[in-house]
Amino acid sequence: MAKTLGIGITGGIAAYKIAELVSKLKQDGIDVVVMMTEGATKFVSPLTFRTLSGREVITDLWQESNEWKVQHIGIAEEIDLLVIAPATANFIAKMAHGIADDLLSTVVVANTAPVLVVPAMNTNMYNNPIVQDNIKKLAGYGYHFMKPDSGNLACGTSGKGRLPEIDHIYKEIKRMLYPKKDLEGKRVMVNAGTTCENIDPVRFICNRSTGKMGYCIAEEAFARGADVILVSGNSPLDSIPGVQFIPVWSAEEMCEVMLEYQPDCDIIIGAAAVGDFRVANIATQKLKKAENYEENKILLELVGTPDILKELGKKKRDHQIMVGFAAETENLIENARKKLESKNLDFIVANDVTVEGAGFASDTNIVTFIFRNGDITSLPKMSKEEVAAAILNQVVELM
């Protein structure tokens, strides 16, 4: 069945790039309704998009239309997905506060279809805490966001704020218009983030993981119809609407929670950066420093933490699929193979965290899949969202 897509173009310099996107979508047989703010028309003529889409381009709340009795209501009822690209700081603020004072913003308020927002703006504007709060607010309402790319910007600066590549936006649109539901009826448990081991009441040991990879997997699994449990260590990321969220602190606590839920799970994916050591004797009071900093010295005795996936692997049932990660700094394939066997995994996702674009706190990853039968599949640098989809594609094949 043919799909109808609404694209709202706001007043950013990247507006001209959307012409290519509209063209690609039309070639796929997708019907495209283009809406432009007044600012957008200063960058690109509506005639361009009318020619590419083959449909009337809507720019004014009060313009007469041959297609809809009430434009903003008719458009909102017709579309299967609403895309705002590029999305300026101003328009994101309007959406976050329910302002409906022009054609596009009234469509947003009337819309009930999924929404994909693609911000593009100056780096300082994007990083402004007000803008970030507005993005978080909309994400909490279920709006989907693509992160902007980094690079040279039209204003002459360099940093995060570029419109993502059109091909990436196109793929995300196709994914949202034609969602896979190949995990319906399955329960997936994912762990993510970093575990923390206390030294005293105010200090602890952890690592640099932000949890993004695991969160992307949980979100992708939920989008594909799974009942998802996300067991998360320390992470700056927000919980995912619709996903059962269980926050934990230490490796031991994470292990206990996952063992409790394991019997009811069909798929278990270990993406957390679990600490290998904990402090043998946690101080009950805050450790004090000496008056002279040169005399400050504390010796900590470290002992091992549970190997969570190994413990789960011992209790793995015939129907369960288990996937792990191997974040290595040397001998990538060899070390990953050892973990694959010792933890009783179906396959392992290996990555060298010393490679640019593949380490902690990165929006991208470069991974290699290693399977029990010896097969190896190496993937190019991809966004963590794309890696998450690739992992679940492999899981579905195993199922």
Q: Locate 41 and state its tokens.
A: 């028309």
| Rounded CA separation 187/263 (Å) | 10
> Residues 105, 40: contact at Cβ < 8 Å?
no
Question: Which residues pair with residue 6 across a beta bridge?
Answer: 33, 82
| Rounded CA separation 233/75 (Å) | 43
Cα angle value 346/347/349 (rounded, 5°): 150
- Name the helix (H) or strand (E) containing 160: strand 158-162
Give me the helices (H) in 166-285, please. 166-177, 212-223, 251-261
> Is 155 annotated as catalytic?
yes
| Rounded CA separation 85/134 (Å) | 16
| Rounded CA separation 238/122 (Å) | 24
| Rounded CA separation 105/145 (Å) | 17
For 15, the 3-state DSSP assignment is helix
| Rounded CA separation 349/323 (Å) | 8
Cα Rg of the chain (Å, integer): 24
Q: Is the peptide bond before 86 cis (omega within 30 degrees of 0)?
A: yes
Largest CA distance in the chain: 82
- The catalytic residue among 155, 196, 206, 216 is 155
- Give just the sign of the alpha carbon dihedral 35, 224, 92, 150: negative
| Single-letter residue type at 188 | V
Give me the helices (H) in the chain, please. 18-27, 38-41, 46-53, 71-78, 89-96, 103-110, 123-127, 129-140, 166-177, 212-223, 251-261, 308-314, 332-342, 384-398
Which residues are part of the catalytic machinery? 155
